[in-house]
Amino acid sequence: MSGLPHQPRQPHQPRLTRLPRLPRSRRVRSLGIACFLSALAAVITGPSGDADHPLAGITGSFAWPRVIIFVVAALGLWAALLSGGHLASPVRALSARARAAMMPSTSMPPTPGGDGAGPPAPAGPLRRIAAPVTGRHGARLGHLALLAVALAVPPVLSTAAQQALVGEIGVYALLALGLNVVVGYAGLLDLGYIAFFAIGAYTTAYVTSAEAMPWHAPWQINPFFALPVALVVAAVAGVVLGGPTLRLRGDYLAIVTLGFGEIVQLLANNADGVTGGPRGVFGLPPLSVDLPGVRYSWGLNPLPYYYLLVVLIVLVMVVFGRWERSRTGRAWTAIRQDEVAAEATGVATIRMKLLAFAVGASVSGFAGVVLATKQFFNPQSFGLQASLLVLTIVIFGGMGSRLGVVFGALVLQGTAFLLRDTVPPADRFIYFGAVVVLMMIFRPSGLLPPRRHRALPRQDVPGTPAIPAAAGAGLVGAAVGATAGAGQDSALAPGAAPGPAPLPAPGASLGSGASLGSGDAPEPGPGAGTGPGVGPGAEPAL
């Protein structure tokens, strides 16, 4: 981990000098990409059409004065793509410095079109905080500073912003932390994750109120005690669902969990005798503390809920941090990278996967308690879109990175909140969808990749460009690196072909836009045979 930043810059030098002689095909290709992304941005941000005028939205998007912006954006993007190497280099140096300071890297992928689609980079200030301090100590300080900001800022915000901080950001950050265990740590794609949120919320209703739902516990407990109850119930639900399905392969698991999510929502809606059906759950007692000397009740005011959420989030982050570094965490990593190999080396894969499911589910049970005690909810609140939103946050923030997913929630949901008058809420998911695809292509490790991030294992998907030297080296290298290293960041893969150099920071792909799929896989160097790196232009011949 240490000592990385400075040494590898050397091999990139030749690439810079060779830039002006880019092959023509690459220039044309870059122009194509720039135009395409810009046109897409124009359509996304453009006016809406309807069924009687299906083309009105598109023609309106390219109406006269508007179109200039996007032509300029396309040209700018093209220039950025062409000068990729030039731009990338200083950014790399910067993010390397940041990483040296043990702060999470904060470089950003390029935002095509330069419009509202792109969330802002929390880069500058963070880096400034990080710059003077180094080492683990610095990370602590940095985290404390972040926590201080998180505690100090909300009271000065408007109540609407506070509501958003609770309902749209905090709850989703908690959910994302839970899903992060399943997707980020164990590498299992769970598309029905929101079902556990529902289970948490309904459990709370069951144990805390005799009126809110037709079906209720014989005795009512203080909502605070609902936290552990919901945690346990959600975890059990996770195990019950996971038990039969976890033997399935990755993409089947995704579909089955998706089905599970749908079924839970449908049952909640149809079983009116139990859940109250579509009428939802209304009038749960708010959270309250009733100890000798301390009496406090969370009312309608969002701020106390916010602080409760901060406590829960920090708690979950700390616990998961320990977990991540434990034997269990390493087992998850092993499973994520190569399940067969993990099993062969004695990891109890099924048990570990079940554990990940249960842990993830239990966090979402927590979030369910907060939702239930704070406001009215009905089955509509637990739809597929909510599941996908949580997934988007995890992808955007950085799979496997605790701080990343919390930031992901803050930036994505925060941007959505700020732009709520400009972008109709129903259009949000266009942006979210685009974010997911672009992240997977340009920066699969997310906004703040996990510190110990390693490339996801690369699998040989048929049709993968049939292996010219460079790409082949990358593939093998990544595969070997992935299986070899359970800890080192920079494992220079033994299989890497002549010339490949490790990247100093995960996904330092700003500017070049597409230089590498994921963080610290070895990048084939210029000597590897296909010209200047695996940029957008380097189309490997088949």
Partner 1 sequence: MGSAEQISQLTIDGLMVGALYAVIALGYTLVYGVLQLINFAHSEVFMLGAFGGLFASRALVPDGGATPSGLASAGLVLFGLGVGALAGATAAYALERCAYRPLRRRGAPRLAYLISAIGASLFAFNLAGKEFGRQSVPVPELFTNGTVLTVFGAEISTQSLVIAASALMMLLAVDHLVAGTRLGQSIRAVAQDAECAGLMGVDVQKIIVATFVLGGLLAGAGGFLYAMTFNASYTMGFVPGIKAFTAAVLGGIGNVRGAVIGGLLLGLVESFGGYLFDASYKNVIAFAVLVAVLLVRPSGLLGTRLGRPA
Partner 2 sequence: MTATPRTLRPRSTRTSARRPVAAMVAGLAMVGGLLAACGGDSDDGGKKEYLIGFQGPLSGESQQLGINAYNGVLTAVELANQDSSLPFTLRIVASDDQGQPEQGPTAAQKLIDNSDLMAVVGPVFSGATKASEPLYSQAGLLSVSPSATNPTLTDLNFTSFYRVIAPDTVQGAGAAEYLAKAVRAKRVYSLDDRSEYGTGLSGAIERGLERARVPFTHDGINPTKDYTSQATKIMADGADAVYYSGYYPEFALLTKALRGKGYDGVILSGDGSNDDQFIRQAGAANAEGTLITCPCSDANSDPAAAGFVADYKKVNSGLKPGTYSGEAYDATNAIISVLREQGTGASRESVLSAFGKVDLPGVTKRIRFQRNGDVEGSTVYVYQVKDGQRTVLGPVSTLVKP
List the one residue out of 263, 260, 109, 119 whose CA is nearest residue 189.
260
In whole angstroms, give the CA distance from residue 520 to residue 357. Answer: 27
Decide: 239 and 358 in contact? Cβ < 8 Å: yes
In whole angstroms, give the CA distance from residue 445 to residue 212. Answer: 43
Q: Answer with the entry of partner 2, partner 1, none that 466 interacts with (C-beta below 5 to 8 A by kind).
A: partner 1
Would you count residue 218 as binding partner 1 (CB under 8 A)?
no
Residues 25-54 that bind partner 1 (CB under 8 A): 43-44, 48-52, 54
Q: Answer with the entry of partner 2, partner 1, none that 376 interacts with (C-beta below 5 to 8 A by kind).
A: partner 2
Residues in the chain: 542
Helix residue spans in 296-452 (DSSP H): 302-324, 327-337, 339-344, 349-374, 384-397, 402-418, 428-442
| HSE of 378, CA atoms in CB hemisphere, 13 A | 11
Minimum distance from residue 254 beta carbon to partner 1 (Å)? 6
Q: Answer with the entry of partner 2, partner 1, none that 120 interacts with (C-beta below 5 to 8 A by kind).
A: partner 2
Using the minimum distance from each CB to partner 1, give the nearer residue, 7 or 464: 464
| φ and ψ of 289, to 5 deg | -110, 130
Q: Answer with the entry of partner 1, partner 2, none that 211 interacts with (C-beta below 5 to 8 A by kind).
A: none
Longest Cα pair distance anywhere in the chain, in angstroms?
A: 78
Cα 290 to its chain centre, rounded Å, is 38
Residues 351-410 that bind partner 1 (CB under 8 A): 384, 388, 391-392, 395
- In the shown chain, the binding pattern of residues 486 to 515 toward partner 1, with x for contact by CB under 8 A and - for none, equals ----------------------------x-
Residues 98-117 that bind partner 2 (CB under 8 A): 116
SS (H, E, C) 113-174: HHCCCCCCCCHHHHHHHHCCCCHHHHHHHHHHHHHHHHHHCHHHCCHHHHHHHHHHHHHHHH
Using the minimum distance from each CB to partner 1, give the nearer residue, 22 or 435: 435
Would you count residue 120 as binding partner 2 (CB under 8 A)?
yes
Would you count residue 417 as binding partner 2 (CB under 8 A)?
yes
Stretch of 272-280, 433-441, 457-465, 523-531 lying at the interface with partner 2 (CB under 8 A): 272-280
Decide: 309 and 287 in contact? Cβ < 8 Å: no
Binds partner 1 (CB under 8 A): choice among 175, 355, 411, 435: 435
Minimum distance from residue 118 beta carbon to partner 2 (Å)? 9
- In the shown chain, the binding pattern of residues 327 to 366 toward partner 2, with x for contact by CB under 8 A and - for none, equals ----------------------------------------
Stretch of 230-238, 330-338, 405-413, 476-484 lying at the interface with partner 2 (CB under 8 A): 405-413
Which single residue is written with the structure tokens 């060779």? 18
In whole angstroms, give the CA distance from residue 235 to residue 182. Answer: 12
Sign of the dihedral through C-alpha 408, 410, 413, 415: negative
Minimum distance from residue 98 beta carbon to partner 1 (Å)? 24
Give me the residues that bind partner 2 (CB under 8 A), please. Answer: 116, 119-126, 149-150, 153, 156-164, 167-168, 266, 269-270, 272, 277-280, 282-283, 299-300, 302, 375-378, 380-381, 407, 410-411, 414-415, 417-422, 424-427
